[in-house]
């Protein structure tokens, strides 16, 4: 099915599905071959060439979701991130990135680029003026992530894309936190959109995958490097990911709604010091978020009042699980200091504004009331336990 003028849920359900011509089954057949004929065929297929039937079909769906000409699926979000970044850079080139980045991306840059002779600059405030000032004659790529992990800062996508275009710089965005349901950066002028499909696309905390969506021209170098690096995804997982994406629209919309209500609840709670959620009018970039997102997403962070032990709070939650990853249908929390940003030095974390007691909250699809109740009982438990140990 073509994606022209189809709504998000219809794209999720139908675009790119493979027809079962033999048995007329309702879902895409799964082709697990790693070996295909090379004679008398238009495409020489091989999983690491990213062109098996299931890979190509799902790529169509992802391209449609991101309003892109084409897309590719990777074995992980980091395979997508690293391949897309390295595809446009060579020795002597320079890349500008916002400092507020997914921990793995930050490590990729700081641990690997030097050995390829690629220079990089992080901009502390992801503001368009700061970006423009950091541009050098050798700058080839700018890389942003919005909303960011874990403080949900918002970068002005249109402004970054516009400045990049003016200077002939390729713009890349990590669109994982928003998902294609809430944000379509290509419509705002961005060249290349990257996803950790492990998150909202997979949505059930059981698939590791990545995706890139862009024009055919921008995909060419990404595809050439991808074949060399070999970060493709098993067709079985591609097939599972197709199934997951069918419900992405309704899942994410439910998560948006839940997150908005919970953010408001937390903001008005006397034991909560601070809430970071772009859907709150008190978020410093709420208006900007409104201007570039269709929904504010299921991710937020918050800090308890200083007197309350954040780690004890997380242990006291019963329904909400403490978990490393995010974006599943189940609500989870984590401490960025102990997990996603553990590899950064305390100094780096402070620079990014990540306090030790910060709690990142991935809101699931449970009933809002049950989540509220769980938070209330955990706060009460922390107070009770802390009272007990005080002299
Ligand atoms: C998880 C994540 C990644 C990395 O994806 P993996 O699938 O774990 O490799 C990149 N960016 C963001 C924003 C993420 O949340």
- CATH number at 249-389: 3.90.1150.10
- Could you give the 3-state DSSP secondary structure of residue 232? coil
Q: Between 219 and 352, whose confidence is greater?
A: 219
- 211 CB contacts (<8 Å, ≥6 apart)? 62, 71, 72, 73, 74, 80, 194, 195, 197, 201
pLDDT tens-place string over residues 28-55: 999 999 999 999 999 999 999 999 999 9
Q: Catalogue the E-assigned strands of the chain.
A: 70-74, 94-98, 119-123, 139-145, 170-174, 192-196, 210-214, 272-276, 299-304, 321-322, 332-334, 359-362
pLDDT of residue 32: 97
Residue 101 CA: nearest ligand 1 atom is 13
- Is residue 3 scored above 60 in pLDDT? no
pLDDT of residue 356: 86
Q: Are 201 and 195 in contact (CB under 8 A)?
A: yes
pLDDT of residue 390: 66
Residue 352: pLDDT band (50, 70, 90) is confident
pLDDT of residue 210: 98
Domain ranges of the chain: 8-245, 249-389
- CATH number at 8-245: 3.40.640.10
Q: What percent of the chain has pLDDT above 70?
A: 98
Q: Ligand 1: does its nearest atom lie under 6 Å from the Cβ of 174?
A: yes
- Is residue 391 scored above 80 in pLDDT? no
CA count, 13 A, side-chain hemisphere, 166: 10
| Cα distance between residue 266 and residue 256, in whole Å | 15
Token duo for residue 234: 């098993």
pLDDT of residue 1: 57
Sign of CA dihedral 343, 101, 199, 219: negative
Closest C-alpha to 180, from 325, 328, 54, 64? 64
Residue 148 CA: nearest ligand 1 atom is 13
- Could you give the 3-state DSSP secondary structure of residue 82? helix
pLDDT tens-place string over residues 367-383: 999 999 999 999 999 99
CB atoms within 10 A of CB 348: 15
Q: Are 296 and 277 in contact (CB under 8 A)?
A: yes
> What is the 3-class SS of 36-51, one letter each residue?
CCCCCCCCCCCHHHCC
- 151 CB contacts (<8 Å, ≥6 apart)? 100, 276, 301, 352, 353, 354, 358
pLDDT of residue 387: 85
Q: Ligand 1: does its nearest atom lie under 6 Å from the Cβ of 102?
A: yes
- Average pLDDT score over residue span 351-359: 88
Task: Count Cβ atoms within 10 A of the Cβ of residue 162 and give its class: 0-12 exposed, 13-18 middle, 19 or more buried.
Answer: middle
- Average pLDDT score over residue span 311-334: 95
* Ligand 1 center–CA 210 separation, angstroms: 8
Tokens 């948006």 label which residue?
A: 256
Q: Name the average pLDDT for the chain.
A: 95
pLDDT tens-place string over residues 197-214: 999 999 999 999 999 999
pLDDT of residue 155: 98
pLDDT of residue 4: 62
Q: Sheet harboring 332-334: ordered strands across?
A: 272-276, 299-304, 359-362, 332-334, 321-322
Q: Are 91 and 119 in contact (CB under 8 A)?
A: no
| Cα distance between residue 27 and residue 21, in whole Å | 11
| Cα distance between residue 72 and residue 213, in whole Å | 7
pLDDT of residue 225: 98
β-pairing, 299-304 with 359-362? antiparallel
- Integer CA distances (angstroms), 150 to 35, 67, 154, 277, in order: 42, 27, 11, 10
| Cα distance between residue 150 and residue 340, in whole Å | 9
Q: Are 282 and 250 in contact (CB under 8 A)?
A: no
The strand pairing partners of 173, in sequence order, are 144, 193
Q: Ligand 1: does its nearest atom lie under 6 Å from the Cβ of 186?
A: no
Residue 347: pLDDT band (50, 70, 90) is confident
Q: Between 180 and 386, whose confidence is greater?
A: 180
- Average pLDDT score over residue span 316-338: 93
- Average pLDDT score over residue span 257-279: 98
- Is residue 67 scored above 80 in pLDDT? yes
Closest residue by CA, ligand 1 atom 5: 77
Q: Ligand 1: does its nearest atom lie under 6 Å from the Cβ of 362?
A: no
Q: Ligand 1: does its nearest atom lie under 6 Å from the Cβ of 260?
A: no
pLDDT tens-place string over residues 121-174: 999 888 999 999 999 999 999 999 999 999 999 999 999 999 999 999 999 999
Two domains, one topology: 8-245 and 249-389: no
Residue 79 CA: nearest ligand 1 atom is 9
Residue 197 CA: nearest ligand 1 atom is 7
- Integer CA distances (angstroms), 230 to 104, 112, 186, 215, in order: 19, 18, 26, 21
Residues comprising the chain, all counted: 391
pTM, to two decimals:
0.96
């Amino acid at each position: 099915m073509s994606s022209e003028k189809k709504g998000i849920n219809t794209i999720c359900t139908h675009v790119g599905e493979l027809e079962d011509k033999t048995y007329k089954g309702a879902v895409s057949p799964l082709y697990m071959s790693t070996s295909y004929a090379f004679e008398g065929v238009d495409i020489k297929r091989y999983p690491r060439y990213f062109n098996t039937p299931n890979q190509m079909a799902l790529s169509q769906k992802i391209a449609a979701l991101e309003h892109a000409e084409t897309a590719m699926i990777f074995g992980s979000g980091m395979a997508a991130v690293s391949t897309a970044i390295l595809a446009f850079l060579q020795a002597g080139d320079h890349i500008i990135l916002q400092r507020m980045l997914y921990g793995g991306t930050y490590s990729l840059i700081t641990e690997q680029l030097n050995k390829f002779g690629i220079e990089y600059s992080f901009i502390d405030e992801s503001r368009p003026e700061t970006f423009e000032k950091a541009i050098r004659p050798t700058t080839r790529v700018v890389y942003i992530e919005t909303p960011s992990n874990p403080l949900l800062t918002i970068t002005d996508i249109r402004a970054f894309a516009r400045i990049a275009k003016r200077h002939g710089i390729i713009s890349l965005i990590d669109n994982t936190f928003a998902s294609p349901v809430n944000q379509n950066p290509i419509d705002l002028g961005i060249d290349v959109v990257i996803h950790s499909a492990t998150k909202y696309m997979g949505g059930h905390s059981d698939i590791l995958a990545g995706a890139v969506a862009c024009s055919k021209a921008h995909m060419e170098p990404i595809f050439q490097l991808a074949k060399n690096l070999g970060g493709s995804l098993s067709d079985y997982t591609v097939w599972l990911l197709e199934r997951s994406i069918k419900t992405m629209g309704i899942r994410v919309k439910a998560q948006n709604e839940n997150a908005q209500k919970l953010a408001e609840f937390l903001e008005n709670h006397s034991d909560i010091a601070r809430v970071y959620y772009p859907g709150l009018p008190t978020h410093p970039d709420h208006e900007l978020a409104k201007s570039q997102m269709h929904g504010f997403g299921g991710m937020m962070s918050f800090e308890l009042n200083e007197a309350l032990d954040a780690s004890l709070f997380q242990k006291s939650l019963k329904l909400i699980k403490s978990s490393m990853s995010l974006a599943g249908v189940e609500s989870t929390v984590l401490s960025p200091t102990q997990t996603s940003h553990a590899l950064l030095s305390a100094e780096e974390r402070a620079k990014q504004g990540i306090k030790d007691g910060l709690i990142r909250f991935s809101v699931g699809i449970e009933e809002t009331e049950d989540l509220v109740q769980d938070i209330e009982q955990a706060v009460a438990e922390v107070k009770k336990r802390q009272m007990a140990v005080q002299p």
